Amino acid sequence: MNKHVVVFTTHKAGSMLVHRVLQDICKKNSIDYYSPNQDPDKQVPFDQIFNGEDFIAERNGCFGPLRFFVPSAALDDANIVLTLRDPRDVLTSMFFSYCYMHPGEIDGNTGYRKEVADAGIDKFVLDMTDENCVRYRGEYGTGNRFTKHVGNIRDRYLTYVHEVLGRSNATIVSYEEMVLDFGNWLKKVIDAFELADLDRTYRALMAKHAETVKPAGENVWSHKRKVTPGDYKEKLRPETIAELNSRFSEALDALGYLEPEYNIRSIPRPRRGSAV
């Protein structure tokens, strides 16, 4: 592989599975892998990047999963993969991460985390899409430490729409495809690496990871709380959903989450800038 592969996603969109898939692709094919989830010598240093260092351009290999957009001169020639989830489900999942299951400075359902839980999911998801997001202490699966650089959750989606979707060198896939048609999702991710023997890698990763994305019962204390798409419809008030639809209208439309409206048996198809 003689190109950069840059994989963008967001929090609460299966990013740890994306990490394990990328890690395995790179290990099997002797590709350098840089990730927020790697050891320090291979870790993506966001603080340095947001202070002006072009970390990606200065190295060769795979970079991801990057849970928000980061600039680099290398993006014009890189093979980019963008895998996103319906932002309404992202926010729903983020509430349970923040209040219960994600590790951090205090235990779940205690202190200020319990206060957020008691205030309710509807307040949380709206706060995370406007200026109120900065009032929340700790990260707990939100990426709030970098809000001053990447914005709230709505801002992060709009940045992807404007910075990535229109690129001819970007492959757009979805979390929904990951959990409903893992084999097809995996093939598209592997294709971005332009491997000489991609079938070998595909078979190995299918055998290792395909079972991990199957839906299971809900557990608010589990990192994989609930896989099935459309959870926001069960958890949020209709007026909250209507407000999120308004705030995310551009991103929902561009990513295929509104036209036609999807359900758990239909995978959203991005409208532009896609290799799907």
Cα angle: 174, vertex 140, 102; to 5 degrees: 85
Of the candidate CATH numbers 3.40.50.300, 3.50.50.60, 3.65.10.10, 3.40.50.10490, the domain formed by 5-85+155-213 belongs to: 3.40.50.300
Residue 274 confidence (pLDDT): 41
pLDDT digits (tens, 9 = 90+) for 71-92: 999 999 999 999 999 999 999 9
Residue 216 confidence (pLDDT): 59
Residue 212 confidence (pLDDT): 84
Residue 211 confidence (pLDDT): 87
Residue 47 confidence (pLDDT): 94
CB count within 10 Å of CB 201 equals 18
3 state DSSP class of 224: coil
CB contact set of 158 (below 8 Å; sequence gap of 6+): 250, 251
CB count within 10 Å of CB 211 equals 9
CA 147 to chain centre: 15
12 φ/ψ angles, rounded to the nearest 5 degrees: 65, 35
Report the distance separating Cα 137 and Cα 93, nearest Å: 18
For the chain, the domains span: 5-85+155-213, 87-145+217-255
Sheet of strand 33-34: strand arrangement? 33-34, 62-66, 5-8, 79-84, 170-174
CB contact set of 276 (below 8 Å; sequence gap of 6+): 171, 172, 173, 188, 269, 270
0.85 exceeded by the pTM? yes
Averages of pLDDT over runs of 10 residues in the chain (276 residues) are 87 95 96 94 95 96 97 96 96 96 94 98 98 96 95 98 96 93 95 94 95 67 60 95 97 84 52 41
Cα angle: 265, vertex 205, 184; to 5 degrees: 30
Report the distance separating Cα 151 and Cα 132, nearest Å: 11
Residue 271 confidence (pLDDT): 47
CB count within 10 Å of CB 9 equals 23
- DSSP bridge pairs for 144: none
The answer to whether 88 touches 236, Cβ cutoff 8 Å, is yes
pLDDT digits (tens, 9 = 90+) for 184-213: 999 999 999 999 999 999 999 999 999 887
What does the DSSP 8-state code read for residue 230?
T
Residue 3 confidence (pLDDT): 75
Report the distance separating Cα 265 and Cα 11, nearest Å: 23
Cα angle: 30, vertex 160, 157; to 5 degrees: 120
Q: Which amino acid is at 201?
A: T
